[in-house]
């Protein structure tokens, strides 16, 4: 259907790696510096992984995250890639019979590194404006104490401690440890430094001036302002001082001044590229494909809510849906089809025994996708009608006392039930003149709303 299903599905399992304890200070940095850039859903996803990582180490499925966050799988994937892009999450995937992920949480950058980074600082500035940006910077950046007239008298390690040669053995070899400090934010930008240096005189700009930190800043500024090596040559010439040295601050200041002179007086804005959007060639072409996309991406709780016109489902209904997924191992898209079929077949009554009887049949048939569930529901519809009649306490009495009477109301069926292009024909129920009207109402009620599941 879309590239999303090649990336992530509700049944995929995950584990959380929290390499070291995070602090309340990290939470403040996440909330006030990162949340304006990544949005509340991505921040909630990070906090949820953080809380889960501190408490448990066992695997879980992404269906668990869908329930915890109240988000469809597409929104969770969107939150994940935003955290990856901003440097707060590393994702590792293992493709086996059952695909699994490891999510390694990374701490927020310290404020000094954050505000020194040209991409992150400009991204935050473009999101919250100058006043809020200055307030956030003043909150976290502590001014250096004026040490004029003071002389450092701190002792060194060798001033206090001396080695003693004794037979005390050696400590055990250290295991691989995670490092707390992250030096900078990796934007993974490409820049042609060879071409840059070809246009710079060695006398004016020595190669030693282009340190690793300066090169990192140059590549990020070139990305931010959409400049190539020729424009950055002019920026460097503006930034270098009389001692033929470059600093991160001088390069940033020169780039800003050059941009104001040549392009615009307002800073450029950073916008997110929606990588999880379906490709044009993969967009749903029919209402059937659109509905299938919805059923494959939504959680069962969301389906229950949509069928009830946005009202929260009862705990008993949610518990039944969760039981089918968590205890019996049914795929969430299959449960979605089952919920739709049963609710509309039984006049919006979610009868547990009836649901479990059909679920048991689908489990034995090894149904794993929404399409397989739809096809099987169409083929076995007559049999499922008998099961429903057998499970009704009044059905036998009604059938014996009024065998000649015609039903006054025809039961509804999901819209997808009428799409029979790819399955064998089954015996149809008696038609009625309002069938087309009923179908349109159901489609309007159950079809995916614009943007849902993407």
What does the pLDDT look like over 113-156, one tens digit per residue? 999 888 899 899 989 988 999 999 999 988 777 888 888 889 88
The CATH classification of domain 4-108, taken from the options 1.10.1410, 3.40.1350, 1.25.40, 1.10.10:
1.10.10
Residue 82 has pLDDT above 80, yes or no: yes
**Contact criterion met (CB below 8 Å) for 362 and 373:** yes
Tokens of 112: 């000094």
Confidence of residue 282 (pLDDT cuts 50, 70, 90): low
Look at residue 440 in the predicted model and tell me its pLDDT: 56
Look at residue 5 in the predicted model and tell me its pLDDT: 61
Pairing of strands 13-17, 100-105: parallel
Q: Is 1 helix (H, G, I), strand (E, B) or coil?
A: coil
Q: What contacts 401, CB < 8 A, 6 or more positions away? A: none
Confidence of residue 195 (pLDDT cuts 50, 70, 90): confident
Whole-angstrom Cα distance, residue 419 to residue 411? 17
Kindly report the three-state secondary structure assignment for every residue of 157-209. Answer: HHHHCCCCCCCCCCCCCCCCCCCCCCCCCCCCCCCCHHHHHHCCCCCCCCHHH
Whole-angstrom Cα distance, residue 328 to residue 360? 9
Q: 90 pairs with which residues across the strands?
A: 104
Sheet (strand 100-105) strand order: 60-61, 13-17, 100-105, 89-94
Residue 422 has pLDDT above 50, yes or no: no
Whole-angstrom Cα distance, residue 64 to residue 59? 10
Confidence of residue 444 (pLDDT cuts 50, 70, 90): low
Look at residue 1 in the predicted model and tell me its pLDDT: 40
Residue 65 has pLDDT above 70, yes or no: yes
Tokens of 10: 């509700």
Whole-angstrom Cα distance, residue 294 to residue 287? 11
Look at residue 449 in the predicted model and tell me its pLDDT: 46
Residue 402 has pLDDT above 70, yes or no: no
**Is the pLDDT higher at 309 or at 203?**
309
Tokens of 280: 């044009």
∠ CA 337-340-342, nearest 5°, is: 105
Residue 189 has pLDDT above 50, yes or no: yes
Look at residue 45 in the predicted model and tell me its pLDDT: 96
Average confidence (pLDDT) over 74-87:
93
Report CA dihedral (236, 237, 238, 239) to the nearest 10 degrees.
50
Residue 186 has pLDDT above 90, yes or no: no
Residue 245 has pLDDT above 50, yes or no: yes
Residue 433 has pLDDT above 50, yes or no: no
pTM score:
0.63
What pLDDT, in 10s, does the model give residues 246-268?
A: 888 888 888 888 878 887 777 77
Name the one residue in this structure whose structure tokens are 């001088």: 250
Q: Which helix (H) or strand (E) holds 13?
A: strand 13-17
Residue 344 has pLDDT above 50, yes or no: yes
**Is the pLDDT higher at 77 or at 326?**
77
Confidence of residue 453 (pLDDT cuts 50, 70, 90): very low
∠ CA 405-408-411, nearest 5°, is: 120
Residue 421 has pLDDT above 60, yes or no: no
Look at residue 281 in the predicted model and tell me its pLDDT: 41
Q: Which helix (H) or strand (E) holds 14?
A: strand 13-17
Q: What contacts 88, CB < 8 A, 6 or more positions away? A: 30, 34, 38, 46, 105, 106, 108
Q: What contacts 365, CB < 8 A, 6 or more positions away? A: 376
**Contact criterion met (CB below 8 Å) for 377 and 417:** yes
Residue 354 has pLDDT above 80, yes or no: yes
- Short-list 257, 325, 317, CA closest to 61: 325
Look at residue 446 in the predicted model and tell me its pLDDT: 57
106 backbone dihedrals φ, ψ, rounded to 5°: -110, 140
DSSP string, 52-93: HHHH--S-EEHHHHHHHHT--HHHHHHHHHHHHHHTSEEEEE
Q: Name the average pLDDT for the chain.
A: 77
């Amino acid at each position: 259907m879309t590239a999303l299903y090649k990336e992530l599905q509700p049944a995929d399992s995950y584990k959380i790696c929290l390499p070291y304890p995070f602090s309340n200070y990290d939470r403040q940095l996440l909330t006030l510096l990162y949340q304006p850039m990544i949005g509340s859903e991505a921040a909630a996803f990070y906090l949820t992984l953080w809380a889960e990582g501190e408490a448990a180490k066992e695997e879980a499925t992404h269906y668990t995250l869908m329930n915890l966050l109240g988000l469809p799988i597409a929104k969770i994937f969107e939150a994940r890639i935003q955290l990856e892009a901003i440097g707060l999450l590393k994702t590792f995937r293992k493709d086996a019979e059952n695909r699994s992920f490891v999510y390694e949480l990374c701490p927020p950058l310290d404020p000094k590194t954050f505000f020194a980074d040209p991409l992150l600082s400009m991204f935050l500035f473009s999101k919250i404006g100058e006043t809020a940006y200055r307030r956030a910077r003043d909150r976290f950046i502590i001014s250096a104490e004026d040490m004029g007239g003071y002389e450092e008298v701190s002792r060194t390690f060798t001033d206090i401690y001396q080695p003693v040669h004794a037979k005390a053995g050696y400590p055990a070899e250290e295991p691989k440890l995670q490092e707390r400090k992250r030096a900078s934010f990796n934007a993974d930008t490409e820049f042609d430094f060879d071409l840059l240096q070809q246009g710079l005189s060695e006398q004016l700009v020595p190669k030693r001036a282009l340190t690793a930190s300066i090169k990192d800043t140059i590549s990020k500024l070139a990305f931010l302002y959409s400049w190539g090596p020729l424009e950055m040559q002019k920026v460097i010439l503006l930034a270098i001082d009389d001692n033929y040295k470059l600093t991160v601050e001088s390069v940033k200041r020169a780039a800003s001044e050059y941009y104001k002179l040549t392009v615009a007086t307002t800073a450029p804005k950073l916008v997110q590229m929606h990588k999880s959007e379906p490709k044009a060639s993969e967009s749903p072409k029919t209402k059937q494909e659109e509905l299938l996309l919805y059923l494959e991406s939504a959680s069962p709780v969301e389906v229950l809510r949509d069928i009830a016109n946005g009202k929260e489902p009862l705990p008993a209904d949610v518990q039944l849906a969760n039981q089918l997924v968590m205890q019996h191992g049914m795929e969430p898209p299959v449960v979605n089809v089952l919920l739709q079929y049963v609710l509309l077949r039984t006049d919006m009554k979610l009868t547990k025994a009836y649901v479990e009887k059909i679920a048991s049949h689908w489990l034995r048939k090894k149904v794993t996708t929404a399409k397989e569930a739809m096809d099987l529901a169409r083929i076995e519809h007559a049999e499922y009608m008998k099961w429903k009649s057998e499970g009704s306490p009044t059905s036998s009495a009604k059938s014996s006392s009024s065998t000649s009477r015609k039903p006054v109301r025809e039961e509804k069926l999901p819209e997808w039930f009428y799409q029979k292009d790819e399955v064998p024909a089954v015996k149809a129920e008696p038609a009625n003149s309002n069938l087309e009207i009923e179908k349109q109402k159901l489609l309007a009620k159950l079809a995916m709303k614009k943007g849902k599941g993407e």
